[in-house]
């Protein structure tokens, strides 16, 4: 069995269900739930992950269909997954192995520090480029794809403004590994014209914090933005 992010090939999976699948499978791979042990109950998992029981049940259905677990009536779900030996010749696509939740975790690590350094180190020229990107963002009304692309450019410019090329490269990799299909699906559903307008105002606030060298406000903005994105992930199912 490959160490993959499981998806049911026969039916679409909601974002919340996929997050639960990814989370449980990551724990199984890490042997937090070793082979032949019983998983926590659906009720326990639902409470721990903050989702509905039927969401956990759907995720377990997929894991069972892919052979990662086996359910026993009246006894619960047991881990059957066994990892194979590493193939030194394999070159897996990092994007395929990165779940939306993985992506948010890495962003949560990188973005606050990235913004902090950008506030301190951004040059006037880099701030000028950031202002130009913001102007383009403010011109978008309904074009979701354009808005997503400009958001990425905004954050990549902030990454460049840190003055740390390694951090900028790490963030560029983070952007590149985001699943395009997932991003398009989730963003198209949530980026209504009203929400686009709200984001435009927020990015203007972020720019003002960066240009005025207000570290605390800029970092707080990013943290709140990440919390909102996580909430949208968990609500989308």
Sketch out the chain's domains with CATH numbers. 15-79 (1.10.10.10), 94-235 (1.20.120.530)
Instruction: Classify residue 164 as left (phi > 0), alpha (psi -120 to 50) or beta.
Output: beta
Per-residue pLDDT band at 227 (split at 50, 70, 90): confident
Summarised one tens digit per residue, pLDDT across range 50-73 is: 889 999 999 898 888 878 898 887
Tell me the pTM: 0.59
| E strands present in 10-145 | 69-72, 76-79
The answer to whether residue 113 scores a pLDDT higher than 90 is: yes
Summarised one tens digit per residue, pLDDT across range 161-171 is: 999 989 988 99
Q: What is the pLDDT of residue 85?
A: 45
Write out the two tokens for 134. Answer: 């913001």
The answer to whether residue 14 scores a pLDDT higher than 60 is: yes
The rounded mean pLDDT for the chain is 82
Summarised one tens digit per residue, pLDDT across range 120-163 is: 999 999 999 999 999 999 999 888 888 888 898 999 999 999 99
Q: What is the pLDDT of residue 126?
A: 92
Mean pLDDT of 211-221: 95
The DSSP element (H or E) to which 187 belongs, if any, is: helix 180-190
Is the model more confident about 215 or about 169? 215
For residue 12, the tally of other CB atoms under 10 A from its CB is 9
């Amino acid at each position: 069995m490959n160490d993959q992010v499981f998806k049911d090939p026969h039916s679409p999976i909601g974002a919340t269900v996929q997050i639960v699948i990814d989370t449980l499978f990551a724990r199984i791979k890490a042997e937090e739930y070793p082979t032949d042990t019983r998983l926590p109950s659906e009720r326990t998992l639902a409470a721990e992950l903050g989702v509905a029981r039927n969401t956990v049940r759907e995720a377990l259905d997929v894991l069972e269909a892919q052979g990662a677990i086996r359910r026993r009536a009246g006894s619960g779900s047991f881990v059957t997954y066994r990892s194979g030996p590493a193939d030194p010749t394999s070159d897996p696509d990092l994007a395929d192995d990165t779940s939306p939740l993985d992506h948010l975790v890495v962003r949560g690590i990188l973005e606050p520090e990235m913004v902090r350094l950008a506030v301190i180190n951004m040059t006037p020229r880099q701030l000028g480029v950031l202002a130009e990107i913001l102007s383009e963002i403010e011109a978008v009304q309904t074009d979701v794809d354009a808005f997503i692309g400009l958001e990425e450019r905004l954050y990549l410019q902030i990454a460049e403004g840190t003055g740390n090329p390694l951090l900028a490269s790490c963030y560029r990799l983070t952007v590149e590994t985001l699943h395009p299909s997932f991003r398009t699906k989730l963003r198209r559903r949530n980026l209504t014209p009203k929400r686009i307008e709200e984001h435009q105002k927020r990015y203007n606030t972020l720019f003002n914090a960066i240009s005025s060298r207000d570290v605390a406000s800029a970092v707080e903005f990013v943290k709140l933005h990440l919390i909102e994105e996580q909430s949208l992930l968990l609500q989308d199912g």
